[in-house]
Amino acid sequence: MAGFLPARARVVHCNSLPPVLVSGTEGVFLQATIPAGLDAKEAEIFCQLDPARLPKHIAIIMDGNGRWARKRHFPRVAGHRAGVTSVRYTVETASRIGIPSLTLYAFSEENWKRRPKTEVDFLMRLLSQYLKQEVPTLHKNNVRLQYIGRLHELPTFVQERMDWARRETSRNTGMILTLALNYSARSELVDAFQSMLHAAASNGGIEHLKIDEEAITRHLYTCHLPDPDLVIRTSGEMRLSNFLLWQLAYAEIYVTPTLWPEFRGVHLLEGIAEYQKRERRYGGLNEGHSSRALRS
């Protein structure tokens, strides 16, 4: 087979995927179905994945920026700045491997209330800079930007930049990147119930109010997304921290000790590999159990 290969063709051996024969002007050659742009370590893990069972929506609780900075005797904000690089790598790898939706918990309502004003102000400026800098990378990766949270409480200059970045990427057709900003899952539920009441009141009166799971889902900030299949938390903490509490009902949870500023595409792929080892039962029985139950 090697004899058919043009000298400059790069063959990557991928055990779990059948190689594809491509005929081009330079003859017929082997091309492994590894997405372009993955580095060698990422490609190695990707090869072990089942591409048909990638999560459709991954949510990430980015944690550990402060600890990363403290370990290096840097100010906390240096950890947040380093965290932006991790956001870039994670977004690029997720979109390269074809994850349809990625949601990042960037800033909680509690962060806003419980952190020093100087840190909050820094995070706001960092977010604004990130949006300005990253739009070209988002375009390059065909990523569409969305936000969830009580966005109207954010500073006006940040809201304006957010609107601009959302508009700029609105025609992209690839991965939806949703940033959770000033977000709280409990506030989201309160807002959803109020939105349902409001909708009923302006549509024939509250006697027409119908509350079921579908109606609640339609009124959540995440109505544009399927529920996450996988939630990743960095820095080893075993908490959901008021993140997507309704939507994560059946999600697989993956906690890595890696601090967010050290998180890269390879860690994302490790999380997906772990996800694919899990058996999702949604409250039912596993395969072996259900067939045994039917026989007895």
Q: Where in the sequence numbering do the catalytic residues fall? A: 63, 111
Percent of residues in the chain assigned helix, strand, coil, to nearest 5? 50, 15, 40
In this chain, which of 38, 43, 62, 185 binds ligand FPP, going by CB under 6 A? 62
Number of Cβ within a 10 Å radius of residue 276: 15
Q: Are 197 and 177 in contact (CB under 8 A)?
A: no
Asked if 84 is part of the footprint of ligand FPP (rule: CB under 6 A), the reply reads yes
In this chain, which of 47, 87, 248, 269 binds ligand FPP, going by CB under 6 A? 87
Q: Are 65 and 79 in contact (CB under 8 A)?
A: yes
Q: Are 146 and 172 in contact (CB under 8 A)?
A: no
Question: Which residues contact residue 208 at a Cβ distance below 8 angstroms, ignoring those fewer than 6 apart?
Answer: 200
Q: How many residues bind ligand FPP (CB under 6 A)?
A: 20
Question: Which residues contact residue 282 at a Cβ distance below 8 angstroms, ignoring those fewer than 6 apart?
Answer: 250
Asked if 149 is part of the footprint of ligand FPP (rule: CB under 6 A), the reply reads no
In this chain, which of 43, 91, 106, 158 binds ligand FPP, going by CB under 6 A? 106
Give the per-residue contact string, 161-180, with ligand FPP (x = CB under 6 A; - = no).
Answer: ------------------x-
Residue placing its CB nearer to ligand FPP in the complex, 44 or 119: 119
Number of Cβ within a 10 Å radius of residue 155: 14
Asked if 135 is part of the footprint of ligand FPP (rule: CB under 6 A), the reply reads no
In this chain, which of 55, 66, 149, 265 binds ligand FPP, going by CB under 6 A? 66
Q: What is the SS3 assignment for 1?
A: coil
In this chain, which of 12, 32, 126, 273 binds ligand FPP, going by CB under 6 A? 126
Give residues in contact with ligand FPP (CB under 6 A): 62-67, 80, 83-84, 87, 104, 106-107, 111, 126-127, 130, 179, 235, 260
